[in-house]
Structures are given as C-alpha cells and as structure tokens.
C-alpha cells in the first residue's frame, strides 16, 4: 500500500509523476537527458549503471525496469546485464565499464566513498571526464529515484514479465510522462 493517495492503476515512478506532474516533468526531463542525451557512454551502459545502483539500493521497481531496458538495448549481448548484476568483476565487460561500475557502487554508498584511486583506475582504462561525470550523476540520480519510489511505498507490478514491456517501451521511446504516452 502506498503511504499517500497515489493513482492505483500504475506502479512505481509513474504513479508519483501522475500524482505530482509539476515535479514529474523535471524528473523525466532529467532522466531522459542523462540516459538518452549526448554522452560518451552508450544508452545500454547507462541503463546498466542505473540498474546496478537500483539493485544495490534494493529498489525492485527501478532495478527490474532498468535491467529490462538494458537487456533490450544490449540486444544479442543481453545476458551481460544479469552477469554484471551478479558479479561485474567476472562479467565480460570492458575494464572501463568495470571501473565506472566501481565508482557508481561507491556513489551509491556515499559521495565521499569515491577515492582518487578509483578515478585513476577509470582514467587508466580509458574513461574521460564526461564518462566519470555522467557515471557519478547517473548513480546519484538513481539514489534519488530509488528513495522516492520506495520512500512513498509505491506498488510494483504483479508479474516480473510485466517489466519486459516496460523495458521495451523505455528502450524505444525513452522517458515520456505517462499522460503523454499510450
């Protein structure tokens, strides 16, 4: 049961942005720019960072929906997503993405946890300023979304398979407010 009187028919963040569209429009604008806007990181890698941070925050709705979107965006390599979430150290992803995931995992704990060595490792693996900036901001943004979604006790879809359609939607049309999409 949500903690406040949210629309019943929609789960997670969608119920919140329908409840308070004045803040919802900025939240969707931010996530669209961060995950789909211009960046040296691919949309798939950015969704993976979002899924990983949401997984660490134990936010079922955000983790499942962004993992589903990442699977769609990786296409034939979709198994990467679950391999990374289980143990990214052994997952077949680039040293650069691993180093960025380390940074994202530290941001999830607290900003101060990120150490100069973490940044040096990422740079040595080829990460530039914008890779590092965007990773930190995506991780921080999902620390906001996860708390917003769970802090108000939003509902989650009844079936895990419901996330497949959600992943397909956000991997094709991106982040569109519920009242503006079908």
Partner 1 sequence: MPYIPVASHLPGITGLLEYRMDTAAPIRALTQFLLRGPNTLSEGERELIATIVSNGNECQFCTTAHAAAADVLLGNPSVTNAVIKDHQQAPVSHKMKALLEIARLVRISGKAVTDTAIQAAKQAGATDLEIHDTVLIAALFCLYNRYVDGLATAMPEDPSYFDQLAVRLVQHGYNRLPQGYDHLKK
User: Which residues sit at the interface with partner 1, rule CB under 8 A?
Assistant: 3-5, 16, 19-20, 22-23, 26-27, 29-30, 33-34, 37-38, 57-59, 103, 106-107, 110-112, 114, 116, 119, 129-130, 132-134, 136-137, 139-141, 143-153
144 vs 165, beta carbon nearer partner 1:
144
- The DSSP H or E segment spanning 96 is helix 95-109
Distance CA 149, CA 179 (A): 18
* Eight-state DSSP code of residue 59: -
Cβ 140 to partner 1 shortest distance, Å: 4
73 vs 136, beta carbon nearer partner 1:
136
22 vs 87, beta carbon nearer partner 1:
22
32 vs 77, beta carbon nearer partner 1:
32
Cβ 92 to partner 1 shortest distance, Å: 27
**162: burial class by Cβ within 10 Å (0-12, 13-18, 19+)?**
middle
Distance CA 67, CA 26 (A): 23
Nearest to 17 by CA among 32, 31, 9, 27: 27
Cβ 114 to partner 1 shortest distance, Å: 5
């Amino acid at each position: 049961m949500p903690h406040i009187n949210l629309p019943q028919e929609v789960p997670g963040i969608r119920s919140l942005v329908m409840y308070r569209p004045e803040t919802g429009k900025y939240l969707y604008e931010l996530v669209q720019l961060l995950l789909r806007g211009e960046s040296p990181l691919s949309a798939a890698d950015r969704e993976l960072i979002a899924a990983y941070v949401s997984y660490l925050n134990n936010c079922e709705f955000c983790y499942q929906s962004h993992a589903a979107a990442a699977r769609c965006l990786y296409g034939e390599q979709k198994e990467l997503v679950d391999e990374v979430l289980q143990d990214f150290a052994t997952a077949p992803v680039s040293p650069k993405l691993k180093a960025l995931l380390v940074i994202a995992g530290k941001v999830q704990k607290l900003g101060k946890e990120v150490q100069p060595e973490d940044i040096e490792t990422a740079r040595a693996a080829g990460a530039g300023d914008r890779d590092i900036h965007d990773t930190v901001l995506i991780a921080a943004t999902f620390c906001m979304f996860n708390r917003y979604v769970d802090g108000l006790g939003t509902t989650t879809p009844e079936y895990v398979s419901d996330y497949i359609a959600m992943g397909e939607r956000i991997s094709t049309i991106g982040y569109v407010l519920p009242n503006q999409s079908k």
